Amino acid sequence: MRIKAPLARTAAALLAAGLLISGCSGGSSPDPSARSSLDSSAKEALKPYATQKLKWRECGVPGFECATLRAPLDYAKPDDGQIKLAVSRKKATGPGKRIGSLMVNPGGPGGSAIEYLQAYAALGYPAPVRARYDMVGMDPRGVARSEPVECLDDKAMDAYTQTDVTPDDEREQEQLVTAYKEFAQGCEKRSATVLPHVSTVEAARDMDLLREVLGDDKLYYVGASYGTFLGATYAELYPERTGRLVLDGAMDPSLPAEQMNLDQTAGFETAFRSFAKDCVGQSDCPLGTKNAEGAGRRLTEFFLQLDKQPIPAGDRRLGESLATTGVIAAMYDEGAWPQLRDALGSAMKDRDGSGLLQLSDSYYERQPDGSYGNIMFANAAVNCLDLPAAFKGPDEVEKALPEFEKTSPVFGTGLAWAGLTCTYWPEQATGSAHRITAEGAAPLLVVGTTRDPATPYKWAESLAGQLATGTLLTYDGDGHTAYGRGSDCIDTAVNRYLLDGKAPEDGKRC
């Protein structure tokens, strides 16, 4: 599961970072031949891509231009077809000398960089940053406007999101396995051409291609959540072309999938305890008004009731899986806690699941007309290429259940079974867990939040320690990611780095 930013921002911005847990993205191992820009044995075949001219056009949002970047479908075989990648930008507004292009990625994998750019980054980033950078977003291959991965039709996706992920017996286990298999088979059937070519390494190579086409000597970049792994991968591939990179809500590329899932499970439990502590201090808390431990037990009991008997939610029904997703969606930002408290109150007291369903729909990018965005499809496709599956089958999940349930009594069971997402994937993983040092890169700024649910703080500590030039900036607080979320201390430090190239003192806390 995953994304970044408050609910007040776009659904894509909210959910991109949270999706990590469905398969858990981790470490694609870069091809050593790709360590510099367009200098592999395929250089001549790649030259037409590097010298292309983008045709910018107006694209419906005032102040923004859009274009299409052509890239090889397979960088190892550039003559074997191409993929078209959607790009948008908002030019530097001035005053001040233009620094370059600042690429942004909201995470996921599967979050639309263009939607994030147009709805938030190019308007909400501090004015001095927007004044001196062209703000640029490119939907990664397989995402949103860039030849999106497709897996299930809307009706089938509705059924998939309601699948019971806390099976009580062998029959329910078989139903869950069938759902994962049908999802994977749908991706293979609908997206066979692009499916083998949506890894993070390939997306990083696309970023370098765009950098070159834009005429920038260095890459300037802000990546959130999964976007930190994309940025770190770029620095590993092209350290000499790495400029100022902000990696906010960092992932740890050295971890295998099962450990990443377990760490995220702990992160969501930590976030829920913070929510519960706040909730029980309110007179209208539907989880009680005594202590956070009791709140967790009440929520678990409520989920068990929904497992047996879903409740009305408008013209639909709310079961355990959708309710759990709704709660998890609200963990990404403490600004959503009042909304979650109201939604739980309506569901638990009035038997009206509409509020939790709304939160769940935002997580899945389900629109009011019943249509879905492709964030969940792209999320699985990238994750399952980047890292081998957490578990080989249900037997391994059952062995791991006690540890997951101990880590999170509320979410542990469902998040353990979510580790089967990549088990039946039609494409073999091309990446593996590994440390990223990016020797020779410019100073890199890693930002971590102490009670981040989706990317636990220890991941930021680990990534900053791995990177040869990594600097850790810490936000002591709740929610997913830190930049642009209300901390003047964080924003000042990041802005100074982006504008002047001066990283804060390593270990600075806000």
The answer to whether the beta carbons of residues 408 and 366 sit under 8 Å apart is no
Question: How distant, in Å, are the alpha carbons of 37, 46, 310, 410, 505 from that of 238?
Answer: 7, 16, 51, 42, 25
Active-site residue identified among 452, 462, 478, 491: 452
**Residue 366 tokens, joined:** 């389900």
Question: How distant, in Å, are the alpha carbons of 286, 289, 403 from that of 296?
Answer: 11, 12, 17
**Residue 467 tokens, joined:** 């990177």
| Distance separating alpha carbons of residues 494 and 371, to the nearest angstrom | 37
CA 124, 128, 131: angle at the middle one, nearest 5?
90
CA 437, 438, 442: angle at the middle one, nearest 5?
125
Judging by beta carbons within 10 Å of its beta carbon (0-12, 13-18, 19+), is residue 91 exposed, middle or buried?
middle
CB atoms within 10 A of CB 439: 11
Q: Is 452 designated active site?
A: yes
**Residue 360 tokens, joined:** 């769940």
Q: Is 480 designated active site?
A: yes
| Distance separating alpha carbons of residues 48 and 310, to the nearest angstrom | 56
**Residue 217 tokens, joined:** 């000597």
Q: What is the DSSP string of 140-184?
A: PTTSTTSS------HHHHHHHHTS-SS--SHHHHHHHHHHHHHHH
| Residues paired with residue 248 on neighbouring β-strands, in sequence order | 224, 447
Q: Is 225 designated active site?
A: yes
Annotate 364-378 with three-state secondary structure: HCECCCCCECCHHHH
How do beta strands 470-478 and 508-509 pair? Answer: parallel
What does the radius of gyration of the chain's CA atoms come to, in whole angstroms?
Answer: 22
| Distance separating alpha carbons of residues 321 and 323, to the nearest angstrom | 5
Active-site residue identified among 40, 191, 480, 491: 480
Active-site residue identified among 88, 101, 112, 225: 225
Give the catalytic positions in this structure: 225, 452, 480
